[in-house]
Amino acid sequence: MHLGIDFGTTNSSVAHFDGRELLPIQLESGNENRTLLPSLIYVKRNHQILLGNQAAAAYLQEETGRKPEWERRLMGAIEIIVAGAGSSPIQYMHDIYDLVDIAAHGRLLQSVKTVLRDPQYEGTNIFDRYYPVDELIAMLLSALKRRAEAQLGESCAQVVLGRPVSFSADPAVSVRAEEILYRAALFAGFEEISFQLEPIAAAHLYHRSSDRREIALIFDFGGGTLDLTVAEVGTTRPPRVLGSRGVLVGGDDLDRQIMKSLLPHFGAGSEIEPEIEFPYDMLEQLESWQTMPYLSRPQPLGKIMEYQRTSNNPQAMHALETLVTQNVGFALFKIIERSKKQLSGKFFAPLNFIHQEIRIHERLLRRDFETLISDEVAAVEREIQLLLAETGVRPAQVEAVLRTGGSSLVPAFVTLLRGIFGAPVIRALDPLTSVGGGLAIVAHERSGRPPSAYAKHYTDVITELQVSSSRRYEKIILRSHRQSYTDRDYTLVKLPLRLSGLHAIKTADRDYVSTAEDLLRFQLTQPAQVYVIYHAKADTLPHWLRPFERLPGELVEINSIGGRMPFFVYRRAYPAGPVTLGGARAAGYRGTVFMNYLVAVQPE
């Protein structure tokens, strides 16, 4: 059975369409809108995972009002490479330490989709475990799949996933982001995965209800991004996209502007000493609830305590201490979001927040809010005009403007659209579920876009596995937090995204003593890159491994009885046919390797 999934920055939804009836899946019984799952993940200290409203409730109960306790902890190791005096660089491992809040009961993750914009982001450390971004997204996709199957009473192996027009201005970053989504869907248990741009999905929903051909502009404004698309829709002919643009403006940015207006309550505009203004770098940390607790670390907190004595606004400095030491940032942003939503139907909204030294009593006027977001409104207008110019469509030719996404309800943007296209053509789709419903229609029509060439990376091309030792080796899919050997209960605690999800060979660790030149043999059914994950303790590599290319900066960590052990990653291209790998201590090896290597394969 096929599903359409709208994995959103703020909320996610899933729906099924059977050709006659569109069925949004009930996801959260306690939600005002039961067909939405807030895209929140709460990881408890024992690594229990809570999602959606349960995640928010647990965080508010366990963390709000709790004072952080910072302690310096070893976080792992990185490889340092510096130019040496000779021709060869100097390489060594360097331990990484960080201040860790040891009193935390759990950690809340919000807007996980947004990090796909960052080409450097691979994951995050939570307590003693590293969580890659694909595994985090898979948690939410798995929950959506399970709840859909429970309601439909059938297994759901096919999915069309929505994606924004652009994750980034860099096309390579967008391809990487889609690959991460694809891999997360595989991890969630989907077997047939395709994609559709989120505004195109919304167009499909409207398309089925229109009996005449018309030009539409889809205005899909969510928590993380705004997607603009001009398309021909209606009649039995399929929609035809004329052009699309992705705008890196979302509802989270609007919330951030409201928070900026509240910063005077926490020191903005104050002087910490005569004629010395409150430091801007501290104010920047207050624009996101996730970064606020960093100011409770010893050094910045010491400055805040000093400012309480020297500032011309000690009340603001006491409020700042409460904000950063009591974990109330998330609760404050929930109030900000609620006030923003109220302004969609009212000309003013109260914004009240009281906690210890924090006393916020504001009356947020719609016109003041529109002033705060004037840069965002101008950016959106600019992108609309650019899209119209690119497609050669005049505003008068647009016969329907389809608004969807929670942020499309903001009156400033409704006014903007009316000013460009005229009020009669503005259509309001369901702001929160129309994309998911459109994706379900796309899934039924099997008109989703297949994944790009990267999908071949996750094909199994390993056959005829043979081992010269008597120990068991087996084929696996390489994933974090999984057992790394067939004969020891060691786990992969850190895995680069490059290797995540690849078909691999789980070896026997006790074979680390092997000196054989042909320990492991297998066949490749097509050309592939073969990766060997080899213990970093070797002084010199065995001869069989030396033709492999070492990948600088790529590090795997395996949790063993001796702690977290580092492994380097080596790569070599092979044609279709036989591959022979020797033992970890075969001829040429010197050093203190006491764990066996692993193997992963990436088809070309």
Considering the domain architecture, whether residues 443 and 557 belong to the same structural domain is answered as: no
Provide the pLDDT for residue 89. 60
DSSP secondary structure code for residue 269 in this structure: T
Give start and end residues of each alpha helix (H) in 189-328. 198-207, 251-262, 280-285, 298-310, 314-325
Which tokens in the block code for residue 263? Answer: 């910063």
Considering the domain architecture, whether residues 445 and 549 belong to the same structural domain is answered as: no
Residue 473 included in any domain: yes
Residue 77 included in any domain: yes
Instruction: Please check whether residue 4 is in contact with residue 201, taking contact to mean a CB–CB distance below 8 angstroms.
Output: yes
Considering the domain architecture, whether residues 438 and 552 belong to the same structural domain is answered as: no
* Overall number of domains in the chain: 2
Considering the domain architecture, whether residues 531 and 442 belong to the same structural domain is answered as: no
Considering the domain architecture, whether residues 94 and 198 belong to the same structural domain is answered as: yes
Q: Residue 116 class from Cβ within 10 Å (0-12 exposed, 13-18 middle, 19+ buried)?
A: buried
What whole-number distance in Å separates Cα of residue 384 and Cα of residue 396?
Answer: 14
Instruction: Please check whether residue 15 is in contact with residue 87, taking contact to mean a CB–CB distance below 8 angstroms.
Output: no
Pairing state between β 214-221 and 400-404: parallel
Task: Find all residues with CB under 8 Å of 80, minimum gap 6, and list them.
Answer: 91, 92, 93, 94
Q: Which parts of the chain register pLDDT below 50? A: none
Burial 574-598 (b: 16+ CB within 10 A, else e): eeeeebebbbbbbeebeeebebbbb
Task: Find all residues with CB under 8 Å of 134, minimum gap 6, and list them.
Answer: 180, 183, 184, 187, 497, 500, 501
Residue 245 included in any domain: no
Domain ranges, residue 596: 459-603
Which tokens in the block code for residue 25? Answer: 């899946």
Provide the pLDDT for residue 332. 96
Instruction: Please check whether residue 503 is in contact with residue 459, taking contact to mean a CB–CB distance below 8 angstroms.
Output: yes
Provide the pLDDT for residue 463. 97
Instruction: Please check whether residue 144 is in contact with residue 8, taking contact to mean a CB–CB distance below 8 angstroms.
Output: no
Provide the pLDDT for residue 553. 87
Considering the domain architecture, whether residues 447 and 570 belong to the same structural domain is answered as: no
Residue 235 included in any domain: no
Distances (CA, A) of 256 to 124, 316, 364, 366, 416: 23, 19, 14, 16, 21
Considering the domain architecture, whether residues 508 and 564 belong to the same structural domain is answered as: yes
Considering the domain architecture, whether residues 136 and 179 belong to the same structural domain is answered as: yes
329 CB neighbour count, 10 Å cutoff? 20
Considering the domain architecture, whether residues 437 and 495 belong to the same structural domain is answered as: no
Residue 134 included in any domain: yes
CATH code at position 18: 3.30.420.40
DSSP secondary structure code for residue 278 in this structure: P
Considering the domain architecture, whether residues 440 and 475 belong to the same structural domain is answered as: no
Instruction: Please check whether residue 112 is in contact with residue 136, taking contact to mean a CB–CB distance below 8 angstroms.
Output: yes
Residue 176 included in any domain: yes
Instruction: Please check whether residue 549 is in contact with residue 479, taking contact to mean a CB–CB distance below 8 angstroms.
Output: no
Ranges of beta strands (E only) in 114-225 are 123-126, 129-132, 158-163, 192-197, 214-221
Provide the pLDDT for residue 99. 80
Residue 377 included in any domain: no
Considering the domain architecture, whether residues 443 and 492 belong to the same structural domain is answered as: no
**Beta partners for 454?**
none
Provide the pLDDT for residue 277. 94
Q: Report the SS3 class of residue 24.
A: strand
Residue 234 included in any domain: no
Considering the domain architecture, whether residues 448 and 470 belong to the same structural domain is answered as: no
pLDDT tens-digit profile of 97-135?
678 888 899 999 999 999 999 999 999 989 888 999 999
